[in-house]
Amino acid sequence: MRSVSEKRMQRTVALICATLFVAFSFTYISLYKAPLLEALYDHVATGKLDYNPYIAATIITATLTTLAIWLNRLLKFQREWTALAYLPSCILLAFITDINRGIYTNEGDLLPWLFIFLSVVLFNLLISFILRRILFAKIKDYNLESNRLVWRNMVIFALMFMLTGFLSDGEKDFNYESAAYVEYKHGNIDAALNVAKDCSSASQELTASRAFYLALQNKMGDNLFNYPQHFASGGLLLPVQRTTPLSPDSIYAILGIERKSKETVFECLQRNVRNDSVPNIVKDYYLCALLLEKRILQFKEELSHYYNIENVDSLPTHYKEALLLYNYVVNDGEQIVDTTLQHKFDAMRILSKQGNRMKKSSADEELRRTYWWYYLYE
């Protein structure tokens, strides 16, 4: 028979454990995993209610906490082992937040999760049996300071929280795509463009999403090469089959274009740009496709159809960079009146004559964000 003080101490430990789990789960869902859960909600929800991360976090956290409390009534984890009652809830939290492209491609596999969950249940049953029948019987008269009980439970929680994060880590690129999509959905296009801005790599989906966000701001010709471009013109449009939170159908609808089966992005843009009814941003899409394919001779010819090349100062930055490169390649003697741009181009020419190691170590960040850098090194 446990003493009154021991029962009071156990209630305190149980309350602290519940508080720790609630704090972690609510923060994990409402902040860290919020973009992924919102993307999932937008994909599966049939109603018109807007997603609220705090309501979702409250419902999920309350459910998982209730499950852990009910489970502990059966398994009776006590003292420094109380936190183990929350292990199944941590696994379920990882399952709920493990969101990837499978929600669009229907390639998700639930068998690994079923195996993990059953293994955790069996583990908890085994540990509960050992503690109740063997360990607790031996230490029932052993008094442990309350602060040591709390710290030992906190260590267990730390391990379970790390396990939760590991199991639900998912695809880094998909996380970025979801975060950018949520910002765009809420009207924060600048914030969407800032997602993973400093990363040297990006998925094709994120690259195409950025191109669309830039096009909405009419900044594609100015800022496209501020971001990594590893897919040539294929990184301008999303695949027809949806693989990311931003719907390709919505992009094609806004651009007023259609893409035929087995048609490349460049072929699609080249065909649709001839249609006078398409918006002006499609023309920038096509011009940027020419730049990404490094067709600067064709770019020079096409540019005059859509922009007044006599007024060079009014051209987008990357178009002026391409004209400078064109003049240098064909040596036609035409001058681009932009002293700052000319100085940057001269610096780029000097850099291009150095070794590869020197290029990577000494290249100015501004030069890396030019069309010249893409043309020479991508």
Q: Are 183 and 195 in contact (CB under 8 A)?
A: yes
Per-residue pLDDT of the chain in tens (378 residues, 90 and over written 9) = 456 666 777 788 888 889 999 999 999 999 999 999 999 998 888 656 789 999 999 999 999 999 999 988 887 777 778 888 899 999 999 999 999 888 888 776 788 888 998 998 898 888 877 777 665 555 555 555 667 778 888 998 999 999 999 999 878 999 999 999 999 999 999 999 999 988 888 999 999 999 999 999 999 999 999 999 999 999 999 988 889 999 999 999 999 998 888 899 999 999 999 888 888 899 999 999 999 999 999 999 999 889 888 787 888 999 999 988 888 777 655 555 566 777 777 777 777 666 555 455 556 677 888 898 898 887
| pLDDT at residue number 192 | 95
| Final residue before a domain boundary, out of 137, 170, 203 | 170
- Give the tokens for residue 102: 């499978």
| pLDDT at residue number 355 | 57
Inside any domain, residue 28: yes
Inside any domain, residue 231: no
| pLDDT at residue number 24 | 96
Q: Are 205 and 181 in contact (CB under 8 A)?
A: no
Q: Are 251 and 213 in contact (CB under 8 A)?
A: no
Burial 344-375 (b: 16+ CB within 10 A, else e): bbeebeebeeeeeeebeeebeeebbbbbbbbb
| Final residue before a domain boundary, out of 133, 152, 170 | 170
Inside any domain, residue 218: no
Inside any domain, residue 74: yes
| pLDDT at residue number 264 | 93
Q: What is the DSSP letter of 337?
A: -
Inside any domain, residue 109: yes
pTM of the model: 0.86
- Give the tokens for residue 310: 């006599």
Inside any domain, residue 21: yes
Kindly report the length of the chain. Answer: 378
Domains contained in the chain, number? 2
| pLDDT at residue number 1 | 46
Inside any domain, residue 250: no
Inside any domain, residue 154: yes
| Final residue before a domain boundary, out of 155, 170, 185 | 170
Residue 164 and residue 306: Cα distance in Å, rounded?
53
Domain shared by 25 and 164, yes or no: yes
| pLDDT at residue number 253 | 92
Q: Can you give the residue range of the structural domain that contains 50?
A: 4-170
